[in-house]
Amino acid sequence: MTTTRAAALTVGALLGPSLLVVPGLAAAVAGPASLLGWSALLALSGLLAWVFAVLGSRVRATGGSGVADYAAAGLGPRGGRAVGWAFLVGVVLGAPFVSLAGGSYVAAATGGGRDTALLAAGGLLLTAAGLTSAGARQSSAVQLVLVAVLLVVIVVAVVGSAPRLSLENWTPFAPHGTGSIARSSVVLMLSFVGWEVSASVAAQLRDPRRLPRVLGLAFAVTTVLYLGLAVSVVGVLGPRGGATALSGLLDVAVGRAGPVVAAVAAVVLTLAGINAYLSAAAELASRAWASAPRTVVQLAVLVAGAALLTLVGAGQLSLADVAGVPVALFLTVYLGCTASAVQQLEGPVRVAAAVAFAASLVVLVASGWAALGALLVVVVALVRPAPAGVGPSLPA
């Protein structure tokens, strides 16, 4: 795999469907002050990129791959298993959130309300589960096309809406208090889930020494896009952003066709994102539990999705609430990997790993009750004996 293709695939993992809703949700939580949350998490993202680049090259050299192997290399088999479980459960609980993101854009384009969004979300979840159950997988070429589509949509939205930037939307800067910045960071973390893809990227590179260059390019591209979109959401839409902020920006940029374009992009990206993660999770689950049905992950996603969508429909959960536990679980993955890096690495990158660990822990604590759910998954993974004949780092 070439450096450019690997960087594009990494960008695709970072700019997933969650980017469609996260900027607006963060702005709703913290207003213009959400830009401080963006800045802090971009700094954390840079540290994670550096740590994963070095850790990925080292672990691959010993025959490992996957975030569980990253953790196991420094924390031992139990630590690797805990990280693997956190990743797998994070995928299962994250898929309903992604489907809700896509459903929200369908509702915005059709003029429907919450019921429309929920029906569309359920349809997207069923479709994605069906595709992965049938063995459908994305080629790297398809992933690259989807990355290109998302980049074009974001650039058109940001550049096209720029003339409508208003200074009035920047005051008050922190309408919900300074504590809202930490709360917005929990939501924003969904936009930074994806660095774990460096594990599979490293495995496909002929020369693992190119991994730092790959992740450096991905970090540069995503930084420009994240900040551009965040500034546009606050400066153009202000408090009107909400969960479908990209639709609002496109409406300003290209007119009435904007929400339709956003909805089509959201549906495609939602299906692609869920398909990619479920395919990987299903493969890992089948390796970990050979006796389990091949569709165990898809069934788990549908059960979790039905429960979460029902709670959202009943008004018991918001879109931001649904994101809470998956964010906490992926933060747990990063905690395990950075702790492993502290154990293995030396010099400045070891310091970077320690800082990234501390920052991830702060965001995890800010997630509140969701952190307890992540802790429960880790405890179950630690006390549960590993399946016979299965390596200690599975699922990864």
Q: Any idea what the CATH number is for the domain that residue 116 is in?
A: 1.20.1740.10
Higher pLDDT, 65 or 289: 289
User: Are 90 and 378 within 8 A, CB to CB?
Assistant: no
Mean of pLDDT values over 55-73: 71
Is 392 a member of any domain?
no
Residue 204 lies in a domain: yes
**Torsion angles phi and psi, residue 316, rounded to 5:** -85, -20
Residue 66 lies in a domain: yes
- What's the average model confidence in pLDDT over 351-377? 91
- Cα distances from 340 to residues 75, 142, 251, 275, 317, in angstroms, run 6, 34, 46, 29, 35
- Let me know if residue 247 belongs to a domain: yes
CB-based contacts of 237, cutoff 8 Å, min separation 6:
24, 27, 169, 245, 248, 249
Burial degree of 212 (CB within 10 A; 0-12, 13-18, 19+)? middle
Q: CA 62, CA 253: separation in Å to the nearest integer? A: 50
| Average pLDDT over every residue of 227-252 | 87
In the structure, what pLDDT confidence band is assigned to residue 159 with cuts at 50, 70 and 90? very high
Average pLDDT, the chain: 82
How many structural domains does the chain have? 1
The amino acid occupying position 251 is D
Q: Each residue of 86-143: pLDDT tens digit?
A: 988 998 998 898 899 889 899 988 888 889 999 999 999 998 888 777 665 555 667 7
Note whether 32 and 165 are within 8 A (CB).
no
Tell me the whole-structure pTM to 2 decimals: 0.84
> Which residue, 92, 112, 91, 94, is CA-closest to 103?
112
Map tokens 């429309």 to a residue.
116
Residues 6+ apart with CB under 8 A from 43: 359
CA distances, 216 to each of 272, 279, 336, 345 (Å): 24, 26, 22, 19
**Residue 102 to residues 106, 116, 120, 161, 173, Cα–Cα distance (Å):** 7, 11, 8, 22, 29
| Domain assignment present for 393 | no
Domain assignment present for 395? no
Per-residue pLDDT of 275-296, as tens digits, reads 777 776 776 676 666 556 667 8
Domain range spanning residue 50? 3-383
Task: Specify whether the CB–CB gap between 335 and 356 falls below 8 A.
Answer: no
pLDDT at 196 over 70: no
- pLDDT for residue 302 is more than 70: yes
Within a domain: residue 164? yes
Percent of the chain with pLDDT over 90: 25
Asked if residue 144 has pLDDT above 80, the reply is no
User: What would the mean pLDDT of 176-190 be, rounded to a whole number?
Assistant: 85
pLDDT of res. 292:
60
Give the integer Cα–Cα distance in Å for 322 and 149: 27
Q: Are 301 and 125 in contact (CB under 8 A)?
A: yes
SS3 216: helix
In a domain, 227, yes or no: yes
